[in-house]
Amino acid sequence: MTLEIQNVSKQYNGNKYGVKDFSLCIEKGILGLLGPNGAGKSTLLKMIATVSKPSDGIISLNKNNIAKDPNYIRKQLGFLPQDFGVYPNLNAYEFLEYMAAMKGVGGSDLKLRISVLLEGLNLIKAAKKPIGSYSGGMKQRLGIAQVLLNNPKIIIFDEPIVGLDPEERVRFRNLISDLANNCIVILSSHIVSDIDTIADKVAIMKNGTLVTNGSQDDIIKNVANKVFETRIEKENLVHFGEQHTVVSTTRKEDNLMVRYITENPIKDATKKQANLEDAYLYLTKTN
């Protein structure tokens, strides 16, 4: 299974691009799509899900151009949009039955399938209550259940982890890892820790373009031997930040411990093992 994105752009009104000349070939496994707010993640994912069309370029699944034949991908697709709306008066069973009908999923085992999904997403206890009474995280989990109704082979989650508490995050990650064997799964986030434990591959976006992609190790190589830690005085942070890419700061008594990326560390700095967060911040920094 191959999803190929070739020179894809999305131009909004005027000259503004949401995505610009983006190319990437995605194979089965879990892809983490990382990028800061406004990077173009949702714009790209909506085009793959055929709810929006590229202004330029081609997206194809197994060599089928999805703009020419959207149903080819739709039949195999599960999509959780970032702004997933629900129907407050329906309960979870009714909502999933409704979504199943919309997706053309039926059969004698539909009820069982819905129960299994609700169980897997820890919603079974609340399943007969109206969705309007659910918490944000519960609605998010119902959105995830809806994605999986039709046994999709291409699964796209736009910021699925936002709003889930730590325990639900673990459940979600386990669920995704189980699913990913024969599927393409794309997970977007602006937070590295949302995806770094499960993504086989990572793509980083900024300003509508692809900054880099590859395995986590490949991406970390961008900052190998460049991550340091040192103690500075609070007053010097602004000046320090102008000279190095600061990744994080922690208070240490009256001073600050700064983790930063540089080619030229200051004297007595301690070298640190680079991680994906370091690379992400370095590659998407604004200056």
Ligand X SMILES: Nc1ncnc2c1ncn2[C@@H]1O[C@H](COP(=O)(O)OP(=O)(O)OP(=O)(O)O)[C@@H](O)[C@H]1O
Residues forming the site for ligand X (CB under 6 A) = 12, 16, 18, 35, 37-43, 82, 190
The least CB distance from residue 52 to ligand X, in Å, is: 9
209 near Mg ion (CB under 5 A)? no
- Tell me the C-alpha distance between 45 and 79, whole Å: 9
Stretch that binds Mg ion, among 2-10, 75-83, 94-102, 126-134 (CB under 5 A): 75-83
d(CA 220, CA 273): 10
Cβ pair 112, 149 in contact under 8 A: no
Q: Binding Mg ion by CB under 5 A: which of 32, 33, 39, 42? A: 42
Q: How many alpha carbons fall within 13 Å on the CB side of residue 40?
A: 26
Min dist. Cβ of residue 67 to ligand X (A)? 18
Instruction: Please return the burial class of 36, using the count of CB atoms within 10 Å of its CB with bins 0-12, 13-18 and 19+.
Output: middle
**Does 9 help bind Mg ion (rule: CB under 5 A)?**
no
18 binds, among ligand X, Mg ion, none (CB under 5 to 8 A by kind): ligand X
Binding at 35: pick from Mg ion, ligand X, none (beta carbon under 5-8 Å per type): ligand X
Tokens of 276: 């994906």
- How far apart, in whole angstroms, are the C-alpha atoms of residue 9 and residue 42? 13
DSSP classification of residue 167: H
Least distance to Mg ion, CB of residue 83, Å: 9
Q: How many CA atoms lie within 13 A of 209 on its CB side?
A: 7
- Of 82, 249, 255, 275, which one interacts with Mg ion (CB under 5 A)? 82
Q: Rg (Cα) of the chain, in Å, rounded?
A: 21
Interface with Mg ion includes 189 (CB under 5 A)? no
- In the complex, what is the shortest distance from the CB of residue 61 to Mg ion, in angstroms, rounded to a whole number? 22
Shortest distance (Å) from residue 15 CB to ligand X: 11
Nearest distance from residue 156's CB to ligand X, in Å? Answer: 12
Query: Of Mg ion, ligand X, none, which one sits near residue 37, judging by CB under 5 to 8 A according to partner kind?
Result: ligand X
User: Total residues at the site for Mg ion (CB under 5 A)?
Assistant: 3
* Conformational region of residue 68, where left means phi above 0, alpha means psi within -120 to 50, and beta covers everything else: alpha
Binding positions for Mg ion, rule: CB under 5 A: 41-42, 82
